[in-house]
Chain A
Amino acid sequence: DVKVTQSSRYLVKRTGEKVFLECVQDMDHENMFWYRQDPGLGLRLIYFSYDVKMKEKGDIPEGYSVSREKKERFSLILESASTNQTSMYLCASSSRKDTEAFFGQGTRLTVV
């Protein structure tokens, strides 16, 4: 079974903290994605990566950065967390050959 694992299910952080969200996949997928999901807005793409050390901005990259030093791991970094970054964060991965993306269980981040 394909597995995409996000490091935390729930996270509470303080405003101004640096926050790391980790995502690991075990299927040797080239592509990895970070989304945030907010009611009424669907899934919005923050960053994606199509190879190790390769990354591209999605539609809402402001306030976020990413790191992909190894193929299986894609990290989302909130440099200085703010309350408007309170959201559900979803990681996904896919192969160039496959037509389906596989999702992690999500991290619900609350910034107080």
Chain B
Amino acid sequence: AQKITQTQPGMFVQEKEAVTLDCTYDTSDPSYGLFWYKQPSSGEMIFLIYQGSYDQQNATEGRYSLNFQKARKSANLVISASQLGDSAMYFCAMSRMDSSYKLIFGSGTRLLVRP
């Protein structure tokens, strides 16, 4: 069975500093995808970054990078140079990459950026 675990319910970071949001996962599928989504107070779900299980390099998208450690089954999100607008809920997610595409999410981490 698939499982996503986010152990940090809430975090603070000072503006302009970097922050790491933790995510561990469990799956027996050989092929899977890992995602991070942001949900601001407005409620919309914003896709941030994707990592495939066979990707050799860690994914990066602007200030976001995904620290993928396959052996440890972790997929931490690193946000560099935090901005006030980064304050939001962050969800880690995982999908099976076969014909029955199942996408599950973790419980989320609320990030607050301090000025």
Which A residues are closer than 8 A to B by beta carbons? 30-31, 33, 35, 40-45, 48, 50, 56, 58-59, 88, 90, 92, 94, 96, 99-103, 105-106
Number of A-B contacts (CB under 8 A): 59
Q: Does B40 contact A (CB under 8 A)?
A: no
Q: Which of B6, B43, B108 contacts A106 (CB 8 A)?
A: B43
Q: Check B103–A100 contact: CB distance below 8 A.
A: no
6 A-B pairs within 8 Å (CB atoms) are namely A30-B101, A31-B103, A88-B43, A94-B103, A99-B35, A105-B43
Q: Check B105–A35 contact: CB distance below 8 A.
A: yes
Q: Which of B102, B106, B107 contacts A58 (CB 8 A)?
A: B102
Q: Check B101–A50 contact: CB distance below 8 A.
A: yes
The main secondary structure of chain B at its interface with chain A is loop
Give chain B nearest CB distance to A88 CB in angstroms.
Answer: 8
Q: Does B25 contact A (CB under 8 A)?
A: no
Q: Check A43–B101 contact: CB distance below 8 A.
A: no
Contact A40/B9 with A50-B101, A58-B102, A94-B101 known, Cβ cut-off 8 Å: yes
Q: Which of A42, A58, A100, A102 contacts B6 (CB 8 A)?
A: A42
